[in-house]
Amino acid sequence: MRRILLAIILILALTAALAEPVVFNTASRVFARPDINSASLAVPQGLRVELVAEQNGVAMVECNGIRAFTLRSHLSAVAPEPAPAPEADIPVDTTVAEMVIANNTRVYKTPSDSAPSIAVSAGLRVTKRAVRGDWAMVTCGSAVAYIHVADLKTYTPFVPVTGVISKNTKVYARPAANAASLNVGAGMRVTVTDVAGDWAQLANGPYVAYILVSELVTEEKWNEMNTPAATPAPAPAPAPQPQISAVEYMNSSSYSNEEKCFMFMTMELGLSPAAACGIMANIKKESSFNPKDTTGSYYGLCQWGSGRLTNMKNWCATNGYGYDTLEGQLRFMMYELVTGYSGTVLATIKNAPNTAQGAYDVGYDFCYRYERPAAKETSSVTRGNLAKDTYFPKYNK
């Protein structure tokens, strides 16, 4: 064994540069010296080490800077790792450009559809940093993400314009209905500095706010809306129509509940078609005109709940109506409005012009002040548009 040690020491300088990775092919032991009586340590099969030198069946190995001796037969060469498959030569475009996300989509942590991702909305401005194949690397502030090139479009700087707020509404600190807000009045002139999706950005000196695009009009449109129309020549009085009583149409199978609601509000309550359509848009969203509609603890055309539901049942019983009937619930709804339950909404209903905008205003205010559902700001806009775009064209005849 001493001769082996001398031989190994002699060849160390010649073979050190030949160190190669090897692996133990069996559970074994390594020794402090090339002597089986020296201190030793068990090693597991599969341990990877560097082969420093070998002589007469004895090998010197190294692992983490520590050298030891073992039998050469307990070591095998490490199979070379396969070379990575050559990647296609796809050019990378590093042109930096301001872009806009064109569709509601997702951005990814890495350029892979299986990578972690988050949803993003159309209209978000980003900076394109690089493009490779179908993927683009983009930044937004300090955030870096990847997106499909097809979901980007070039950002065209917005030319500021003057607009007019068309109704009493709110402006927001962020383009979101749940952001901090401030009341503003109809007719206010504002500078629109950007538009993204449903939101417009407004600037007033150093301050920035956001408003729904649907609540802005041009100067020309505002002037048109507020210029008294020329008084038309009086139309010939229509031939008198036979009056139909509430009992007749409420109990008739010739009319749908939707039509009965319109007839009741115009014939019994004297509302304009626009005002009736604004209320009908809310009833549609609450119960689809079903007086027996039940959602959890809420019931009826307007989904009354808790104390209001009790009041509705008691009022109907006192006044001779079934609480589950269409007429009983409509009459109670107007009783609530007249007794001041919802503030100024009754004035809005009575004073609304018989126009598409009048239908929108009633639909919006009835939702915001009378129904008051969750997310009432966005729900009010939805119901206002339903009254204006669907019911008013249908019933204003």
pLDDT in tens, 302-312: 999 988 999 99
What's the whole-number mean pLDDT along residues 73-90? Answer: 71
**pLDDT: is 12 or 108 the higher one?**
108
> What confidence category does residue 39 fall into, taking pLDDT thresholds of 50, 70 and 90?
very high
In this structure, of 157-161, 251-255, 260-264, the range with the lowest mean pLDDT score is: 157-161
pTM: 0.41
What's the whole-number mean pLDDT along residues 236-258? Answer: 72
pLDDT in the model for residue 251? 84
Residue 233, pLDDT > 90, answer: no
pLDDT in the model for residue 300? 94
**pLDDT: is 355 or 140 the higher one?**
355
pLDDT in the model for residue 9? 43
Residue 253, pLDDT > 60, answer: yes
pLDDT 10s digits, 198-214: 888 888 766 788 899 89
pLDDT in the model for residue 15? 42
Average pLDDT, the chain: 84
pLDDT in the model for residue 231? 67
pLDDT 10s digits, 316-356: 999 999 999 999 999 998 888 877 655 577 777 888 899 99
HEC profile for the chain? CHHHHHHHHHHHHHHHHHCEEEEECCCEEEECCCCCCCCEEEECCCCEEEEEEEECCEEEEEECCEEEEEEHHHEEECCCCCCCCCCCCCCEECCCEEEEECCCEEEECCCCCCCCEEEECCCCEEEEEEEECCEEEEEECCEEEEEEHHHEEECCCCCCEEEEECCCEEEECCCCCCCCEEEECCCCEEEEEEEECCEEEEEECCEEEEEEHHHEECHHHHHHHCCCCCCCCCCCCCCCCCCCCHHHHHCCCCCCHHHHHHHHHHHHCCCCHHHHHHHHHHHHHHHCCCCCCEECCEECCCCECHHHHHHHHHHHHHCCCCCCCHHHHHHHHHHHHHCCCCCCHHHHHHHCCCCHHHHHHHHHHHHHHHHCCCCHHHHHHHHHHHHHHHHHHHHCC
pLDDT in the model for residue 247? 66
pLDDT 10s digits, 49-77: 999 889 889 999 998 888 999 999 999 98
pLDDT in the model for residue 361? 92
**pLDDT: is 222 or 228 the higher one?**
222
